Amino acid sequence: MRRILWPGGVALTITGFALSLYLVFIRTAVDRELGFTQKIFYFHVPCAWVTFLAFAITAASSIVFLVTRRTWWDDLAYSSLEVGTVFTTLVLVTGPLWAKPTWGAYWVWDARLTTTLVLWLVEVAYLLLRAFIEEPERAAKYAAVLGLLGALDIPIVHYSVALWRGMHPSPVVMAREGFGAGLPLDFLVALLVSLVSFTLLFVMLTATRLRLEAVRGRLAALRHRANER
């Protein structure tokens, strides 16, 4: 089954990104106000969505791990957050690239930007904790707690535009008027394809990272048995 799913997943991901690039750069019109820089929107928003998804998986897996103490759930939490950190970094990179021509500055201490930076710092702290605590069980417990605490920042990031006045624009996809009401149809279609493509990429990367973690666990078990002899 894995031999079928894996090539299928890779093919879907590549197809999704090819279609996404076609829609974004060829089929979608250039925004009248923001110009060509608006194209960053189709990469910035999906990366933000994947960041939320990755942290949600980490938080849910951490809860299950703390209850069951099953290593697989800790591996899933670790893998999801490690891959999610890459996408959060892309959010913090694409955001300033979009902000410079729009706001005149790469970075402002806007509520959305600041709370996203806090989320990224939590992810970095999580990874450092896993790297420097040598005892696996203790590292897993501490990381699970940190993952849950970090997940509390997700709703703050999401609602920061509504809670505090800032320069970041209001949501146009999940708009008050309805889903996608703030976007022309061609913009919305391109965004949805990008969202699916980035989600598929995240799933494939996380699955690969999870398999590597399983191999690492088996190697650690073999070393432990060898030392006992």
Contact 28, 190 (CB under 8 A): yes
Its pTM stands at 0.88
pLDDT in tens, 101-119: 777 788 888 888 889 999 9
Amino acid sitting at position 148: L
Asked whether residue 224 is domain-assigned, the answer is: no
- Structural domain for 93, as ranges: 2-27+40-216
* Position 70 pLDDT exceeds 80: yes
- Positive or negative, the CA dihedral 40, 46, 47, 49 is positive
pLDDT, tens only, 187-200: 889 999 999 999 99
Q: Judge whether residue 97 has pLDDT over 80.
A: yes
Q: Determine, yes or no, domain membership for 222.
A: no
Q: Is the pLDDT of residue 1 over 60?
A: no
- 225 located within any domain: no
Residue with tokens 């093919």: 11
| Mean pLDDT for all residues in the chain | 85
Using CA atoms, how far apart are residues 131 and 134, in angstroms rounded to an integer?
7
Domain count, the chain: 1
More confident residue, 40 or 226: 40
Residue 223 forms part of a structural domain: no
Q: At residue 142, what is the residue type?
A: Y
- Residue 107's closest CA among 31, 167, 37, 36? 167
In a domain, 34, yes or no: no
Tokens encoding 115: 């709370």
Residue 55 lies in a domain: yes
Q: Residue 39 carries which DSSP code?
A: G
Buried b (16+ CB within 10 A) or exposed e, 204-225: bbbbebbeebeeeeeeeeeeee
pLDDT at residue 47 in the model? 95
pLDDT reading at 182 higher than 90: no
Q: Tell whether 12 is covered by a domain.
A: yes
Q: What is the mean pLDDT of residues 7-26?
A: 90
3-state helix, strand, coil in the chain (%, to 5): 80, 5, 15
With respect to residue 221, please indicate whether it lies within any of the assigned structural domains.
Answer: no
